[in-house]
A and B are shown apart, each in its own frame.
Chain A
Amino acid sequence: MAEAQNIPVGSTTAGQIAVAAESTVATRMSAPASFDVADFPVPHGREEEWRFTPLERLRGLHDGTAVATGDGVRVDVEAPEGVVVETVGRDDARIGRAGTPVDRVAAQAYSAFEKAGVITVPKETVLTEPIRIAVHGEGGTAYAHQVVELGAFAEAVVVIDHTGDALLAANVDYVLGDGAKLTVVSVQDWDDKAVHVGQHNALIGRDAGFKSFVVTFGGDLVRLHPRVAYAGPGGEAELFGLYFTDAGQHQEHRLLVDHNVPHCKSNVVYKGALQGDDAHAVWIGDVLIEAKAEGTDTYEMNRNLVLTDGARVDSVPNLEIETGEIVGAGHASATGRFDDEQLFYLMARGIPEIDARRLVVRGFFAELVQQIGVPDIEERLIAKIEEELEASVA
């Protein structure tokens, strides 16, 4: 894919590798992480962490005016035998162990939820079927919290499926015991009006493996913070993301991998396609290699494919290195266009326009979709991509 020269008007691709004592990852936040919403000032939109987000479309999630209603979201959990599914109160000790809210909306969600879901896969339990969490928006406003905890050497696949319409701020904690393997697929397949903001924290145990697919198609505004930290050496994180941003949609993914422990790995690949007027995708990829994290191996990449005029991408990889004793660290970001010349070339070989677009977009996403490993989700994603493309050509 062509690099800088192909970036459409209005997009930015910036990147930096900082080797400094002063952490820009920390200083770019307007307040330190906290569970209490009162510790965060109401954002005005000029703050570094809010500058890409249209605040008015948060409909009050950021300023305390969005009050939970009874008809927010319905959550149904389908879990194979051996899994413990609970609903617990705010004071349950298992809540909030994987990470602390880093912005006002995440803290608002933490301060406002009444009951939390806790799903536990006991140690050494290896599941052959996925755990499915269906989050269906019923049109109201909700604050929620979900914990997924795997005991040592447990293995599980969790699918969190968001559909319907809601104004939702929800955080998720993934806690992986030593040697555990967790694959999470979070699908944001919301209706057009939905607003979804959340922080997804993963705490990866010694020699544990965390694989995450964040798939965002729907919603008016989706803003997610997938964040990873390590509880012991030997941990591996693979963070994959796909988004298909349509006219008028704002889809923002703000990642942080905190290499706070020696000898851990991380690999981040997010890919997005955009089409239509005012489609806006934001990707922030922060990787922090702390001074003590010797032997770190990390790579992050963001690719965007702009299918039509009028879409905008802001892609900001940021790698911060406090030790030179690492295996590898790299990042890449590129935004390319599917342009009229490509379309002409394919059509000049007899390929109809819709098939030409399909060919390009499927090819673009294929390497990620094939790695999900949950067939019904893979099929649904392909179908969804096709549907989006049909709509664009019609």
Chain B
Amino acid sequence: MATLEIRDLHVTVEADNATKEILKGVDLTVKQGETHAIMGPNGSGKSTLAYSLAGHPKYTITSGTVLLDGEDVLEMSVDERARAGLFLAMQYPVEVPGVSVSNFLRTSATAVRGEAPKLRTWVKEVKEAMERLNMDPAFAERNVNEGFSGGEKKRHEILQLELLKPKVAILDETDSGLDVDALRVVSEGVNRVRETGEVGTLLITHYTRILRYIKPDHVHVFANGRIAESGGPELADKLEAEGYEAYTKGGASE
């Protein structure tokens, strides 16, 4: 069973000619089939955790370990991490001019699966996945994220999640900027992947709203660069009622 183990992770970032520590010792284990919600106020370091796990060059790991099935993730390049089974659905997906969605998806699937998917079954697979996400087929011929609305970008991220079938999916504020209809469609996509039981999900969010659609097994409160409290779904209800105030007093990292 696939397991992502994060131990005592410390991460810094260079900003304004100074080195700033954003993650201050994160410990977390995500197993296949589990869904962990990471909730926290702005600036608590949630997104830094997501991007550090994916290997964004902006972040420097100063200590700690990240293992995926015992393999050292931190030693891997960004593309190796993806091929090993890590997936990051980004809060702000990047525009890639000149590259069509269909070309991008096929290149990506070829890289992750280790061989080019058979054309006939692939076309069908993409078409069905797009239909499930209420995406217009014409979407496939547009350039990656270019001119996409906020909702289209998030659907496109979840489309990739469905097609790439990772072992561990990190969803970085996938709910932000979505109206209720789009949130429902996107959440259904995530749930389809979760129901296979083959993915461990790390759901990073600021709001409890998405947790009405995607039910977590574990909820962690992230504050000041580390996990401040962990619990079951009931912890989300407490946050809904009380907010983050109890965790941020004198401790916000920015």
Given A348-B88, A349-B112: A359 in contact with B97 (beta carbons within 8 A)? no
Contact with A along B101-115 (1 / 0, CB 8 A): 001100110011000
Q: Which of B77-85, B133-141, B199-207 contacts A (4 or more CB under 8 A)?
A: B77-85
Flag if B94 contacts A363 (CB, 8 Å): no
List, in ascending order, chain B residues with CB within 8 A of A348's CB.
Answer: 54-55, 78-79, 81-82, 88, 90
Decide if A350 touches B82 in the complex (CB within 8 Å). yes
The answer to whether A347 touches B79 (Cβ under 8 A) is yes
Task: Give residues of chain B (175-226) contacting chain A, Cβ–Cβ below 8 Å.
Answer: none
**Could you give, for residues 336-353 of chain A, a 1 whenever the CB lies within 8 Å of some chain B CB and a 0 otherwise?**
100011101111111111
Q: Are B57 and A350 in contact (CB under 8 A)?
A: no
Chain B interface residue count, Cβ-Cβ cutoff 8 angstroms: 30
- Chain A residue at minimal CB-CB distance from B113: A350
Give residues 316-372 of A contacting B (CB, 8 Å): 336, 340-342, 344-353, 355-356, 359-361, 363-364, 366
Instruction: State whether the Cβ of B116 lies closer than 8 Å to any Cβ in chain A.
Output: no
Q: In the bound complex, what is the Cα–Cα distance between A356 and B104 (angstroms)?
A: 9
A9 proximal to B (CB < 8 A)? no
Q: When chains A and B are docked, how far (Å) is the Cα of A356 from the Cα of B97?
A: 12
Chain B residues, Cβ within 8 Å of A349: 82, 104, 108, 111-112, 160, 164
B103 touches A344 (CB 8 A): no
**CB distance B111 to A359 under 8 Å?**
no
B77 touches A347 (CB 8 A): yes
**Closest partner residue, chain B, to A346 (CB atom):** B96
In the complex, the chain B residue whose C-beta lies closest to that of A345 is B94
How far does the alpha carbon of A351 sit from the alpha carbon of B111 in the complex, in Å? 6
B100 at the interface (CB under 8 A from A): yes
Q: Which residues of A contact B77 (CB under 8 A)?
A: 347, 353
A359 touches which one: B54, B104, B164 (CB < 8 A)? B104
Answer whether residue B25 sits at the interface, using C-beta atoms and an 8 A cutoff.
no
Q: Least Cβ distance of A161 to chain B in Å?
A: 27
Residue A1 at the B interface, CB < 8 A?
yes
> Of the candidates B56, B82, B96, B160, which one forms a contact with A360 in the assembled complex, judged by CB atoms under 8 Å apart?
B96
CB distance from B102 to the nearest CB of A (A): 11
Q: How far is the CB of A74 from chain B (nearest CB, A)?
A: 38
B64 nearest CB across to chain A (Å): 21
B43 touches A (CB below 8 Å):
no
Instruction: Write the nearest CB–CB distance from A14 to chain B, whole angstroms.
Output: 22
With a cutoff of 8 Å between Cβ atoms, the chain B residues found around residue A360 in the complex are 96-99
Neighbouring B residues of A355 by C-beta, 8 Å = 107, 111
A309 to chain B minimum Cβ distance, whole angstroms, is 14
B117 at the A interface (CB under 8 A): no
Chain B residues, CB < 8 A from A356: 79
- Judge whether A350 and B112 touch: CB under 8 Å: yes
The answer to whether the Cβ of B93 comes within 8 Å of any Cβ in the partner chain is yes
CB atoms of B90 and A363 under 8 A apart: no
Find out whether the CB atom of B83 lies under 8 angstroms from the CB atom of A350: yes
Which of B57, B78, B88, B96 is the one whose CB lies under 8 Å from A342? B96
Q: How far is the CA of A346 from the CA of B109 in the complex (A)?
A: 12
| B49-86 vs A, Cβ < 8 Å mask (1 yes, 0 no) | 00000111100000000000000000001110111000
Report the nearest B residue to A364, measured CB to CB.
Answer: B98
B residues apposed to A, CB below 8 Å: 54-57, 77-79, 81-83, 88, 90, 93-100, 103-104, 107-108, 111-112, 143-144, 160, 164
Having A345-B144, A347-B77, A351-B82, one finds 4 other A-B pairs with CB under 8 Å, namely A344-B54, A344-B56, A350-B164, A351-B107
Ranked nearest first, the 6 interchain pairs of A and B with the lowest CB-CB distance are A363-B98, A350-B111, A350-B82, A349-B108, A347-B78, A345-B94
